[in-house]
Amino acid sequence: MPDNSNRVIVAGISGSLRPGSFTSMAVRVALRGAAQFGAETRFLDLREYGLTLLDEGPEPPGARKWRADFAAADGLLLGTPEYHGSFSGILKNALDFLGFDQTEGKMIGLVGVSGGSMGAFDAMNGLRSVGRALHAWVIPKQAAVPEAWKAFSEDGQPVDSEIENRLREVGQQVARFAHLHKCGQIREFLEGWERAPVNPGGEIRID
């Protein structure tokens, strides 16, 4: 666990704007995993930024704050529902407001939620590609929540301890890699990345 001088910030973002959405519940559980590692955690509610569809017109007033809040985090937990085999358009639109100044070198962990039994793997695979295009490090571990309609209790807690553990582990891994990266512990960072049991992110990029 890092000391306060090297404490990292991990922010969670839900690609669903519905109050009390299953995606938001899953992201908040993952944030608790990051907090267990010692990270400062924040939930960035996209509803509060008032982001319109990105076009050539005037930017919405909340766009600057959105960029600043994203940039302030060392690690991000991106949660998405799966829609027709892909990830949330709400989330993609929010990411489109960002530039490399906000995304370069960030640690990103993925959480996917679906109503079906197969999880949200297609959505997370697509989001993983977006994360790499943003020059971010998309961590090896990810967590899917299948049949989300029965995965959480009324107070937002996972009813299955295995799902809860998977979500928390994603948060912990984001916080851990963000800490190693922030402290310049490159060898430990790369060794930990290589040892990770799942690495759908492909080859390690060193830049």
pLDDT tens, position by position, for the chain (207 residues)? 566 668 999 999 999 999 989 999 999 999 999 999 999 999 999 999 999 999 877 899 999 999 999 999 999 999 999 999 999 999 999 999 999 999 999 999 999 999 888 778 999 999 999 999 999 999 999 999 988 888 898 888 888 899 999 999 999 999 999 999 999 999 999 999 888 875 443 333 333
Burial class (CB in 10 A: 0-12, 13-18, 19+), 183: middle
pTM of this prediction exceeds 0.75: yes
As a CATH number, domain 4-195 is 3.40.50.360
Q: Which sequence spans correspond to the domains of the chain? A: 4-195
Please calculate the CA angle 58-71-69 and round it to the nearest 5 degrees. Answer: 70
Cβ atoms of 29 and 144 within 8 Å: the answer is no
